[in-house]
A and B are shown apart, each in its own frame.
Chain A
Amino acid sequence: MIRNACTKWRILLQSVTVILLLHPLTAGAAQEAATGGGGRPWWFWPLILFVFCFVLGIIAVLAGVGGGVLYVPLVSGFFPFHIDFVRGAGLMVALAGALAAGPGLLRRNLASLRLALPVALIASVCSIFGAMLGLYLSRLNPDIVQTCLGAAIVGIAVLLLVSKNTEKPVVTKQDALGLALGIRGAYLDEATRERVDWKTHRTLLGLVLFVFIGLLAGMFGLGAGWANIPVLNLVMGVPLKISVATSKFLLSITDTSAAWIYMNKGCVIPLMAIPSILGLMFGSFVGVRLLSIAKPKFIRYMVILVLFFAGFKAMDKGLGLGIMG
């Protein structure tokens, strides 16, 4: 009986996911909304946005991606909001999620401050420049940002498809920079009750890559978990558990700097930003509970598919080709 109920839940969840992502109600609504409100009452948009983000929050958890990376391309593609406001709200969404997760990760010592602090400094400076560059390009021509966003989303989809993280990378010798900064640590593996010591290698390369991650995060308001984790894990040799936790904690710092730029510029409209933040947050709580019955692998591949679709749609819109409607 329990198995039956689980199967029904899983089918329902997957159906809702497919319907929402591939043919959302909002898509149709947004198509007709050539002008801001689309002739609908004001309450329609916060309500539909809350529901949309709630489901997005569930999917994000199940697919193992951050909310921001799904939010920006999908909301900018299917809702009538200008890309400036979507990026502003996207950063607030990613920031709120990271702040809420931060305390638990710090208390359990999974987020490493020794690793996060130097990386965060570089990424947050660069995300400020990214935000300023994104807003400048948007003022010149929003289609430039839309096209670049599309290209970035397709790149992220490829990255999610090909990157194979390593649970405990082998680092034989720590490099000089990692050693000088003392970037190392230890954690207790709950499953094996074994102490795992870790240290970094290729630290300089990792830090350089965070220049680009910061720029992209600020420019498109995406959050950056999709890039943080592979760089920490695959390039710098940090165990996956520490990489995931430190990445989430990092978002609370890098997104803060970019969020301030967007907020001060006036790119955060409470009417749309708050239902997005709350929807994604509540959705992610439900997502965590559904993890045990869902098939994350299926959802992950579907999300990658949707990211390809959203990326190509953004490029199509930015380049004015009109191929994808």
Chain B
Amino acid sequence: MKEPIQSDLKPMPEQLAYANVLFVGAWLGIFLMIITYFLYLGGVLAPHVDLGLVTANWNKGVDEYLAVTQSPHGWGWVKFLSKGDFLNFVGMVLLAVLTIICYLFLIVGYQKRRDRIYMIIAALEVLVLASAASGLLGTGGH
């Protein structure tokens, strides 16, 4: 049996930073989702789309649903943050943006280690995720 060598069994510091940011961000996102959902259902903040209208139309395709409910696509929801239904997007968007933030720590880590290949891979991933998040890909109007 080989003796464990602790140095390469431990994660690199940036991996731990990634884990810590992910931990705080994921649970904050989930907590925000719970709070905003109850604000929405409790009627504390009036929704942009009436609850009955949502349930009457969620069997329709997305284009038709957006047209009937006059809902925005892309980042249009930001304009409706004062509405109970669109406020829910804050928690969900936090979850979806977390990986991009965490990858920035990896880019710094790989740069410090002069691991050029992995630094480029991490930078490319940030680009890919940021492009998806931008709303420019495949989100043409309805």
> Residues on A close to B: CB < 8 A?
33, 35-37, 40, 42-43, 45-46, 80-82, 84-85, 92, 95-96, 99-100, 102-104, 106-107, 109, 113-114, 117-118, 120-121, 124-125, 128, 131-132, 135-136, 138-139, 142, 180-181, 185-188, 192-195, 252-253, 256-261, 263-275, 277-278, 281
| Other-chain residue from B5, B56, B61, B65 in contact with A35 (beta carbon distance below 8 A) | B56
CB closest chain-B residue, reference A91: B96
Q: Considering the chains assembled together, what is the distance between the CA atoms of A194 and B1 in angstroms? A: 7
Please tell me the number of chain B residues within 8 Å of chain A, measured between CB atoms. 75
Residues of B within 8 A of A100 (CB): 26-27, 30
B132 and A266 within 8 A (CB) = no
Q: Considering the chains assembled together, what is the distance between the CA atoms of A196 and B125 in angstroms? A: 29
Known: A36-B59, A80-B59, A99-B26. A264 touches B74 (CB 8 A): yes
| Other-chain residue from B26, B52, B100, B132 in contact with A37 (beta carbon distance below 8 A) | B52
CB closest chain-A residue, reference B11: A109
Q: What is the total of A-B residue contacts with beta carbons within 8 Å?
A: 215
A85 and B9 within 8 A (CB) = no
Q: Considering the chains assembled together, what is the distance between the CA atoms of A278 and B5 in angstroms? A: 40
A195 and B3 within 8 A (CB) = yes
B2 and A194 within 8 A (CB) = yes
A269 and B58 within 8 A (CB) = yes
Q: Considering the chains assembled together, what is the distance between the CA atoms of A264 and B125 in angstroms? A: 19
Q: Chain B contact residues: over half helix, strand or loop, or mixed?
A: helix
Q: Chain A contact residues: over half helix, strand or loop, or mixed?
A: helix
B117 and A266 within 8 A (CB) = no
Residues of B within 8 A of A92 (CB): 92, 95
A263 and B16 within 8 A (CB) = no
Which of A180, A188, A192, A265 has the most B CB atoms < 10 Å from its CB?
A265
A273 and B92 within 8 A (CB) = yes
A46 and B61 within 8 A (CB) = no
Known: A106-B22, A186-B9. A95 touches B3 (CB 8 A): no
Interface string of B77-91 (1 = CB under 8 A from A): 000000001101100
B16 and A96 within 8 A (CB) = no
B26 and A138 within 8 A (CB) = no
Q: List, sorted by A's number, 20 A–B pairs whose CB atoms are closer than 8 Å.
A: A42-B51, A45-B55, A82-B61, A92-B92, A99-B25, A107-B19, A109-B10, A109-B11, A113-B106, A113-B118, A117-B125, A194-B4, A195-B2, A256-B98, A257-B132, A260-B135, A270-B92, A274-B88, A277-B30, A278-B33
Interface string of B1-24 (1 = CB under 8 A from A): 111110011111001101110110
Known: A106-B15, A257-B128. A265 touches B138 (CB 8 A): yes
Q: Considering the chains assembled together, what is the distance between the CA atoms of A266 and B77 in angstroms? A: 9
Q: Considering the chains assembled together, what is the distance between the CA atoms of A265 and B85 in angstroms? A: 16
Residues of A within 8 A of B51 (CB): 42, 271
